[in-house]
Amino acid sequence: MKPKLAGDLRTQRRIFAMQCEVCKAMAHPLRLEIVERLGGAEVPAAALLAELGVSRAVLSKHMALLVQAGIAEQRRQGRQVFYALSHPDIRRACAIMRAVLYRRLERDRRLARALSRAG
Protein backbone atom coordinates (compact mmCIF):
# COMPACT_ATOMS: atom_id res chain seq x y z
CA MET A 1 0.00 0.00 0.00
CA LYS A 2 1.41 3.37 -1.00
CA PRO A 3 1.14 5.96 1.77
CA LYS A 4 -0.25 9.31 0.77
CA LEU A 5 2.22 12.11 1.09
CA ALA A 6 0.48 15.24 2.21
CA GLY A 7 1.14 18.35 0.29
CA ASP A 8 3.82 19.50 -1.99
CA LEU A 9 7.12 18.36 -3.41
CA ARG A 10 8.97 19.95 -0.49
CA THR A 11 7.12 17.71 1.96
CA GLN A 12 7.80 14.66 -0.17
CA ARG A 13 11.51 15.47 -0.33
CA ARG A 14 11.60 15.95 3.45
CA ILE A 15 10.03 12.52 3.89
CA PHE A 16 12.65 11.00 1.55
CA ALA A 17 15.43 12.68 3.56
CA MET A 18 13.96 11.31 6.79
CA GLN A 19 13.76 7.85 5.22
CA CYS A 20 17.44 8.10 4.30
CA GLU A 21 18.32 8.88 7.91
CA VAL A 22 16.39 5.85 9.13
CA CYS A 23 18.09 3.65 6.50
CA LYS A 24 21.52 4.96 7.55
CA ALA A 25 20.76 4.12 11.16
CA MET A 26 19.73 0.61 10.15
CA ALA A 27 22.81 0.10 7.94
CA HIS A 28 24.59 -2.38 10.21
CA PRO A 29 23.93 -6.12 10.60
CA LEU A 30 23.88 -5.90 14.39
CA ARG A 31 21.32 -3.11 14.37
CA LEU A 32 19.11 -5.12 12.03
CA GLU A 33 19.44 -8.08 14.39
CA ILE A 34 18.50 -5.84 17.32
CA VAL A 35 15.37 -4.67 15.48
CA GLU A 36 14.42 -8.31 14.88
CA ARG A 37 15.05 -9.23 18.54
CA LEU A 38 13.00 -6.31 19.81
CA GLY A 39 10.03 -7.60 17.84
CA GLY A 40 6.82 -6.32 19.30
CA ALA A 41 7.81 -6.32 22.94
CA GLU A 42 9.94 -4.35 25.34
CA VAL A 43 13.24 -6.14 26.01
CA PRO A 44 15.65 -5.58 28.91
CA ALA A 45 19.15 -4.54 27.89
CA ALA A 46 20.52 -7.49 29.87
CA ALA A 47 18.53 -9.91 27.69
CA LEU A 48 19.84 -8.25 24.52
CA LEU A 49 23.39 -8.52 25.85
CA ALA A 50 22.95 -12.24 26.51
CA GLU A 51 21.20 -12.98 23.19
CA LEU A 52 23.54 -10.96 20.98
CA GLY A 53 26.78 -11.84 22.75
CA VAL A 54 28.18 -8.30 22.57
CA SER A 55 29.68 -6.04 25.19
CA ARG A 56 27.66 -3.47 27.08
CA ALA A 57 29.58 -0.68 25.27
CA VAL A 58 28.81 -2.12 21.83
CA LEU A 59 25.12 -2.54 22.63
CA SER A 60 24.95 0.96 24.10
CA LYS A 61 26.52 2.50 20.98
CA HIS A 62 24.14 0.74 18.60
CA MET A 63 21.07 1.38 20.73
CA ALA A 64 21.95 5.08 20.97
CA LEU A 65 21.93 5.28 17.17
CA LEU A 66 18.60 3.47 16.93
CA VAL A 67 17.04 5.67 19.61
CA GLN A 68 18.41 8.87 18.07
CA ALA A 69 16.96 7.87 14.67
CA GLY A 70 13.55 7.26 16.25
CA ILE A 71 13.64 3.53 15.49
CA ALA A 72 13.77 2.39 19.12
CA GLU A 73 12.73 3.81 22.46
CA GLN A 74 14.46 3.48 25.81
CA ARG A 75 12.89 3.28 29.25
CA ARG A 76 14.68 3.14 32.58
CA GLN A 77 13.32 1.44 35.64
CA GLY A 78 15.74 1.78 38.51
CA ARG A 79 19.05 0.47 37.23
CA GLN A 80 17.47 -1.53 34.42
CA VAL A 81 17.17 -0.26 30.87
CA PHE A 82 14.46 -1.53 28.53
CA TYR A 83 14.24 -1.08 24.77
CA ALA A 84 11.34 -1.36 22.34
CA LEU A 85 10.67 -0.48 18.73
CA SER A 86 9.05 2.90 18.36
CA HIS A 87 6.56 1.45 15.85
CA PRO A 88 5.77 -2.19 14.90
CA ASP A 89 5.83 -1.34 11.19
CA ILE A 90 9.62 -0.97 11.43
CA ARG A 91 9.98 -4.70 11.99
CA ARG A 92 7.52 -5.44 9.18
CA ALA A 93 9.49 -3.20 6.80
CA CYS A 94 12.67 -5.11 7.63
CA ALA A 95 10.89 -8.44 7.13
CA ILE A 96 9.68 -7.33 3.70
CA MET A 97 13.21 -6.38 2.68
CA ARG A 98 14.56 -9.74 3.92
CA ALA A 99 11.89 -11.56 1.89
CA VAL A 100 12.99 -9.67 -1.22
CA LEU A 101 16.62 -10.58 -0.52
CA TYR A 102 15.80 -14.26 0.11
CA ARG A 103 14.04 -14.37 -3.26
CA ARG A 104 17.02 -12.71 -4.93
CA LEU A 105 19.41 -15.17 -3.28
CA GLU A 106 17.30 -18.12 -4.42
CA ARG A 107 17.15 -16.73 -7.97
CA ASP A 108 20.94 -16.36 -8.00
CA ARG A 109 21.35 -19.96 -6.76
CA ARG A 110 19.08 -21.26 -9.51
CA LEU A 111 21.03 -19.28 -12.09
CA ALA A 112 24.36 -20.62 -10.77
CA ARG A 113 23.06 -24.20 -10.93
CA ALA A 114 21.80 -23.69 -14.48
CA LEU A 115 25.12 -22.20 -15.56
CA SER A 116 27.13 -25.03 -13.97
CA ARG A 117 24.99 -27.61 -15.81
CA ALA A 118 25.38 -25.77 -19.11
CA GLY A 119 29.17 -25.49 -18.82
Which backbone phi and psi does 70 adopt, to 5 degrees? 80, 15
pLDDT recorded at residue 50: 96
CB 85 within 8 A of CB 35: yes
* Domain segments of the chain as ranges: 9-118
CA distances for 73 relative to 35, 60, 68, 81, 108, angstroms:
11, 13, 9, 10, 37
Angle formed at CA 86 by CA 25 and CA 24, multiple of 5 degrees: 10
Task: Tell me the pLDDT tens digit for each residue of 71-106.
Answer: 999 999 999 999 999 998 999 999 999 999 999 999
pLDDT recorded at residue 116: 87
pLDDT recorded at residue 114: 87
- Rounded Cα gap, residues 67 and 94, in angstroms: 17
Residue with the larger pLDDT of the pair 9 and 59: 59
Q: Is residue 4 predicted with pLDDT exceeding 80? A: no
pLDDT recorded at residue 94: 92
Contacts of 22 (CB under 8 A, 6+ apart): 69, 70, 71
Arch. (CATH architecture) of 9-118: Orthogonal Bundle (1.10)
pLDDT recorded at residue 2: 61
